[in-house]
């Protein structure tokens, strides 16, 4: 899944702005995609604002990393324990984040 999502994002990113959000709460393989270092910020830094339903584009940009041209990558959590908030309430936070991303990016690919 990660391989397909990464390649699809890179192809689409050549033509339009696209966001790739790593919501794989167990492995977060995409967080290291195109980088040799672990990301400093992850979607966990957005947890509070997403939980309150007040996520802004500036919040997303503070966490996002640009990969392979025009792909905006939101790195996933560092461990399954950190992913607990994202998985709670049937994934409401993840759905809110994806909804917000769809307002600002032409293409949104969420890797779950």
The pTM of this model reads 0.86
CA distances (Å), origin 99, targets 3, 31, 62: 23, 20, 18
Low-confidence ranges of the chain (pLDDT < 70): 109-112
pLDDT at residue 111, as a whole number:
60
Instruction: Identify the helix (H) or strand (E) that includes residue 13.
Output: helix 2-13
Closest CA to 93 of 30, 59, 43, 58: 43
pLDDT at residue 73, as a whole number:
93
Pair of tokens at residue 19 = 């966001």
Phi and psi, residue 48, nearest 5°? -70, -45
CA distance 16 to 71: 9
pLDDT at residue 109, as a whole number:
62
Q: Is 82 exposed, middle or buried (0-12, 13-18, 19+ CB in 10 A)?
A: middle
pLDDT at residue 74, as a whole number:
94
pLDDT at residue 89, as a whole number:
84
């Amino acid at each position: 899944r990660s391989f397909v999502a990464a390649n699809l994002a890179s192809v689409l990113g050549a033509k339009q702005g696209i966001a790739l959000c790593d919501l794989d709460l167990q492995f977060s393989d995409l967080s290291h995609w195109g980088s040799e270092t672990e990301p400093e910020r992850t979607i966990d830094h957005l947890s509070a604002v997403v939980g309150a339903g007040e996520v802004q584009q500036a919040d997303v940009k503070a966490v996002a990393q640009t990969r392979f041209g025009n792909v905006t990558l939101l790195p996933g959590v560092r461990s399954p324990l950190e992913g607990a908030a994202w998985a709670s309430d049937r994934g409401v936070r993840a759905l809110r984040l994806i909804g917000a991303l769809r307002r600002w990016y032409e293409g949104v690919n969420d890797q779950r």
